[in-house]
Amino acid sequence: MPPARCARQHTALCKRQPASLPSVTAPALKQFLIIQTAFLGDAVLATALLEKLHAFHSNAAIDLVVRKGNDGLFKDHPFLRKLYVWDKREGKIRALLRLIGEIRKRRYDHVINAQRFFSTGLMTAFSGGKETIGYDKNPLSFLFSRKVKHEIPDWRVLRGKAAGTGVHEMDRLNALIEHLTDGKRPLPRLYPSEADRAQVAGLLGPQGPGAETLREQSWAKILREQYTRTPAGSLEEDPAAPSTFITVAPASVWFTKQWPAEKWIELIGLLPTGQRVFLIGAPGDVPLCERIARDAGRGEVIAGKLSLLGTAALMEGASMNYVNDSAPLHIASAMRAPVTAIFCSTVPAFGFGPLHANGHVVERAGSLYCRPCGLHGYKACPEGHFKCAWEITLNGSAVDPTATGHRPSA
């Protein structure tokens, strides 16, 4: 073949070749939406879903719906693409419909409802998601493409009986995504920023650890160095050890889940005198914290002065965090921080106890005919005596998490 003709054919072939190649497109990005618009503690626990979905679907886009006020937990969260905030102050129904409209535009692959409320059922059913997942106890679950059994003990069955164990909330949450991941229990996690840690370091002052230490130092090691155990089993301060601090979160949304102020005052009086005590909480908890600090003759009130993630960073650095069965308990678990949770009208068998070996439960010894009186709590004791709280005795067990009288977390 003449060279000129060969060249012409080669040129023509090169021109045709691209058109003959199959087109290659990148796989579509998998999209998840998690819905959790309940209380602060519930939002903290829902972070376990973010952790596990990201671990199994690292290239997926994960979005989340929370109520206004809980959004501060998720500032600059590393695994979130978008955070939807349901602000009921705009008008509950109007804001809900607007939110559903925004969600429908995304066409999610999986919509995961972590609640049993009608409003979130509506959000899920009309999300336009390819798969809609939720608990069977949601009133609109018949509209979901996948229903999961929600297992929680009936408080009427537990009433007056000795404490037992039940399914933890983490396992109930995992049931929603087990078919997308595996059966292993997920764990919650929060991500305070450098600014949050610097805020805490500034609060602690020159006698406290700096932001770098708050991030990197092993607080379990500090606690071991801070104390030496006497033969009697009590804890004594080592004056040569580094300074540490304790946090107390005395408030709860529910009165019957909140240990009385007098008991907190008594507890603070038993704490090692060399440790600083910080009373933490929301701005509305300031009067309670001020009363406790005043009557205990000790304690620094910082309720309302830290962001949610700032509070998490503070709790992470504490040698112990004393809390009710409320949101600070779950914040401590999310930060792997030591925690002592005091259960009054509710019981750990509901599945909301501490998650790690450094978590402990304190509750009234023995059964009580009226405990538990409900799944959540009440604005006043239904029986009028509040024995489940007042009859929690303060001996060494309430102060020393290794003493007899504490039950480790399940």
> Per-residue pLDDT averaged across 98-122, rounded?
97
Among 42-51, 124-133, 205-214, the minimum mean pLDDT is found in: 205-214
Q: What pTM value is reported for the model?
A: 0.84
107 in the Ramachandran plot: left (φ > 0), alpha (ψ -120 to 50) or beta?
Answer: left
Among 202-216, 226-240, 324-338, 384-398, the minimum mean pLDDT is found in: 226-240
pLDDT digits (tens, 9 = 90+) for 48-62: 999 999 999 999 999
Nearest in space to 362 (alpha carbons), one of 333, 315, 400, 310: 400
- pLDDT tier at 274, thresholds 50, 70, 90: confident
> Per-residue pLDDT averaged across 137-146, rounded?
97
Distance, in Å, from the CA atom of 350 to the CA atom of 142, rounded to the nearest integer, reads 25
The yes-or-no verdict on residue 354 having pLDDT over 70 is: yes
* Contact present, 211 and 201 (Cβ < 8 Å): yes
Nearest in space to 172 (alpha carbons), one of 192, 190, 148: 148
User: Which homologous superfamily does the CATH classification assign to the domain defined by 194-408?
Assistant: Glycogen Phosphorylase B; (3.40.50.2000)
| Start-end of CATH 3.40.50.2000 domains in the chain | 31-180, 194-408
Higher pLDDT, 42 or 410: 42
Q: Look at residue 208 in the predicted model and tell me its pLDDT.
A: 58
Query: Does the bond joining 186 to the residue before it have cis omega, within 30 degrees of 0?
Result: no
Distance, in Å, from the CA atom of 328 to the CA atom of 332, rounded to the nearest integer, reads 6
Domain 31-180 has CATH 3.30.540.10: no
Which residues have a Cβ under 8 Å from the Cβ of 157 and sit 6 or more positions away?
A: none
